Chain A
Amino acid sequence: MHQSPRFARSRAGKRSILALTLAAVAVLVSTLLLSASGSTATPSSEYAAYPALQNNAPTELAFVSSHSATHTGDRPTWPLQAPEGAQSGWPLAESIRKLNTESPNMTTWIAKSLGGGVCVLLWVHEPAGDTPSIGYTCSGETEEDLHRGATTYISEVPGEPGRVFVAGVVPSTVAAIQATLANGATKTVAVNGNAWDLETEGDPQSYQTIPVGG
């Protein structure tokens, strides 16, 4: 039995469409993956002192493909893709990992930056109705920068005048942080899984690292 020419053309056409569709999907996926990944990645070995970056626990952070003006949730979100033209300090979505910090009033994450630094991300649990924002700070990409880590703080929280929320990431060679507070007193905070955090009144004056075994 012979197929009619029209039927044969139809099958060939379907195969062409299928092949082109698969090719288009492959190109799309490749584009998304390339644009979501950093361009100047620091070698993994440089991050060896930050095992928190290997944490596989849920991030508890919603990643979004676009920032909708109609979003009404009470939790923050993070862009799935780095913005076009993003600078070296942009935290890369795929590297974000949740940290185990002490305070029940904030959530923190660690990430690699686009330029090869290390970042700390901080969400202070604002009162309902306020904009749930994430503050972040990223170090530079040099070995010295990575050795120092990053510290971020948020001080203008609605309904909490004068209250300061601080979070930091440091290498695993650091056991604790000694903060000199606004009133001159000192407070020592333990480092847990590269992370530490602190709630206080007024801007702390300085931070000093206490090495493991120190």
Chain B
Amino acid sequence: MRKRLIAVLVTLASCGAVAATPASAVEYANHVEVGGGGNHFGPYVYFYAAETYPFGSAIACAGVRGVGLNCASSVGEVAGIVLPYDVEAEPYIHNHSTWTSYFSGYYYK
């Protein structure tokens, strides 16, 4: 009986761990400088979403190299892109401003 009880609890704990563990965020760029209209590419990794945070008067875009690019249109807005599955590619920041600005970039895996 005790073995059966332990087996049930272990099974439930495993299910709970799998169900309750979401994907996680990785910061690949912290307050990096990007020239007006320029890009900052992250590492070549498996991930499904990328997000860009602007600083100051920057206008941010978040991209997945070879897949897509999404931009905000106003200062201070966060831009992101979510794919339906993991891809092996580079997340990147695009500075949509015409002036040099600073950004942080995240990808989710």
Chain A residues in contact with chain B, CB under 8 A?
Answer: 9-10, 13, 16-17, 20-21, 24-25, 27-28, 31-32, 35, 64-71, 73, 75-79, 81-91, 113, 117, 122, 131-140, 145, 148, 150-157, 166, 168, 204, 207
Contact = CB atoms under 8 A, between A and B. Distances in A.
Interface residues of B, number: 45
B70 interface: yes
Given A17-B5, A27-B16, A87-B106, A131 B78 contact: no
Contacts of B51: 87, 89-90
Given A155-B69, A155-B71, A137 B78 contact: yes
Contacts of B87: 131
Given A24-B9, A153-B71, 9 more contacts: A20-B8, A21-B12, A71-B84, A82-B22, A83-B49, A84-B24, A137-B78, A145-B76, A151-B77
26 contacts: A28-B15, A28-B16, A28-B20, A31-B16, A35-B20, A68-B85, A77-B84, A79-B22, A79-B49, A79-B82, A82-B22, A83-B23, A84-B24, A90-B51, A90-B80, A91-B80, A113-B78, A133-B70, A136-B79, A137-B80, A138-B78, A139-B74, A150-B74, A152-B73, A153-B73, A154-B70
